[in-house]
Chains A and B, each alone.
Chain A
Amino acid sequence: MQVPNSFKLALLKQMLLGFQLSAVSSNSMSFHERKNAIKLSADAAMVFARGSTRWTRGLVASLSKNRNNEDLLRGILGKKYERLSLPCCNSWKIPRSRKILKRCLGLCSRRKKATGTQHDVKSSSTLARRLVKKRIQVLKKLLPGGESMEGFSLLDQTLDYAVSLKAQVDVMRRLLKISKASNLNLHLKEEEEEEEEHAQRH
C-alpha cells in the first residue's frame, strides 16, 4: 500500500516550511533543538498531508501538549490547526463490528486445529485471546489517539498511520540523500578552489 505522490509532495513542502520557520539552518541552534524542530516539522507536515482523521487529531493533540510547539504547529498547519484541535465528534458506536472483529481475530485462525482434548483446545484459545488483547493494548499506545479507538477503527487507523509513516520516512530519506550530495558538491568545489589557488601560487 502506498500513498500518492501528491501526499509526499505536500509532506515535503510543509516540512521544509517548518525548517525555514524554525531556522534549522542557522548556527545558533543546539543539535537537540535542531533535531526536535526537524521531528516536529516532519510530524506536522505528515498531519497536513493526511488531513483530518482520528490519528492526525490524536497526533496534533499530543504535539500541542508542549506549549513551545504551538507556533511551529500553527505555522505549518495554518487553518487546519484549529480544525484538527476541535474535540472529535464522538465516534458512532459499533458494538456489532467489535464482536465480529474479536471473533475473527480470536477464532477464525484456529478453526482448523482440532487436536487435543476439549480442555486443551479451550485453554489454548483462551490464551490466544488473552495474547491478542494484550497486543491490542500495545497497539493502542503506539497509535496517536489510539486509546479511544476500538475494533475496526483501531485497525483501520493503524493501517492508515503506518502507510503515512512510511511515506514520511521515504521523504526524509530522500532529503538526507540529497543534502549529503549537495554537501559533497560543496566540499569538492571548495577543494577544487583550494587546489587552484595552491597551483597558482607555485
Chain B
Amino acid sequence: MSSRRSRISEEEIAELLSKLQSLLPEARRRGASRASAAKLLKETCNYIRSLHREVDDLSDRLSEMMATMDLDSAQAEIIRSLFRP
C-alpha cells in the first residue's frame, strides 16, 4: 500500500500553480487567464525580490524613527489596527 505522501497528483500541482498566480499583484489585475510557467516563475521571482526591497526600505525608515519611539504604546496601537476593518 503506497503511502499517501509518495505521490502528488496533478490536481495538487495545478492548485499550487493557481495559488501562486493569484498571489502575484499583476495577476489580480489581468484576470484569470493562465500564464505560462516561465512567466509565472519570472513574476514570482520579481515579487519576492520586490518584497525583499520593501523590507530593506522599511528597515531604513524604521531605523530613523527608532531613537524616539515608545515601543509599548506602539505595539498596543498596531494590535488595535490589526482588528479594524
Query: Which of A56-64, A102-110, A194-202 is the contact stretch?
Result: A102-110
Docked-complex contact B62 and A138, CB < 8 angstroms: no
* Residues of chain B contacted by A38 (CB below 8 angstroms): 59, 62-63, 66
Docked-complex contact B75 and A143, CB < 8 angstroms: no
Judged by DSSP, the binding face of B is: helix
Within residues 3 to 57 of chain B, which ones have a CB less than 8 A from any CB in chain A?
A: 5-10, 12-14, 16-17, 19-20, 22-23, 34-38, 41-42, 44-45, 47-49, 51-52, 54-56
Docked-complex contact A180 and B8, CB < 8 angstroms: no
Shortest distance between the CB of A126 and any CB in chain B (Å): 13
Docked-complex contact B6 and A96, CB < 8 angstroms: yes
Docked-complex contact B20 and A109, CB < 8 angstroms: no
Judged by DSSP, the binding face of A is: helix
Q: Is A121 engaged at the interface, CB distance under 8 Å to the other chain?
A: no
Shortest distance between the CB of A25 and any CB in chain B (Å): 5
For A183, give its contact among B7, B16, B68, B77 (CB under 8 Å): B68
Q: Is A88 engaged at the interface, CB distance under 8 Å to the other chain?
A: no
* Residues of chain B contacted by A42 (CB below 8 angstroms): 55, 59
For B13, give its contact among A1, A25, A104, A132 (CB under 8 Å): A104
When A and B form their complex, what is the total count of cross-chain residue pairs whose Cβ atoms lie within 8 Å? 167
Docked-complex contact A183 and B44, CB < 8 angstroms: no
**Roughly how many angstroms separate A13 CA and B76 CA in the complex, as a whole number?**
10
For B51, give its contact among A19, A34, A162 (CB under 8 Å): A162
Q: Is B1 engaged at the interface, CB distance under 8 Å to the other chain?
A: no
Chain B residue at smallest Cβ distance from A130: B38
* Residues of chain A contacted by B75 (CB below 8 angstroms): 12-13, 16
**Roughly how many angstroms separate A173 CA and B81 CA in the complex, as a whole number?**
12
| Number of A positions contacting B (CB below 8 A) | 63
Shortest distance between the CB of A6 and any CB in chain B (Å): 10
Shortest distance between the CB of A44 and any CB in chain B (Å): 13
Q: Given known contacts A38-B62, A182-B69, is B23 in contact with A163 (CB within 8 Å)? A: yes
**Roughly how many angstroms separate A168 CA and B48 CA in the complex, as a whole number?**
12
For B65, give its contact among A92, A162, A179 (CB under 8 Å): A179
Question: Which of B's residues lie within 8 Å of A, judged by CB?
Answer: 5-10, 12-14, 16-17, 19-20, 22-23, 34-38, 41-42, 44-45, 47-49, 51-52, 54-56, 58-71, 73-75, 77-79, 81-83
The 6 A-B residue pairs with the shortest CB-CB distance in the complex, in nearest-first order = A97-B8, A135-B41, A105-B37, A172-B58, A179-B65, A35-B63
Question: Which of A's residues lie within 8 Å of B, judged by CB?
Answer: 1, 5, 8-9, 12-13, 16, 19-20, 24-25, 27, 31, 34-35, 38-39, 42, 92, 94, 96-97, 100-101, 104-106, 108-110, 128, 131-132, 135-136, 138-139, 142-143, 152, 155-156, 158-159, 161-163, 165-166, 168-169, 171-176, 178-180, 182-183, 186
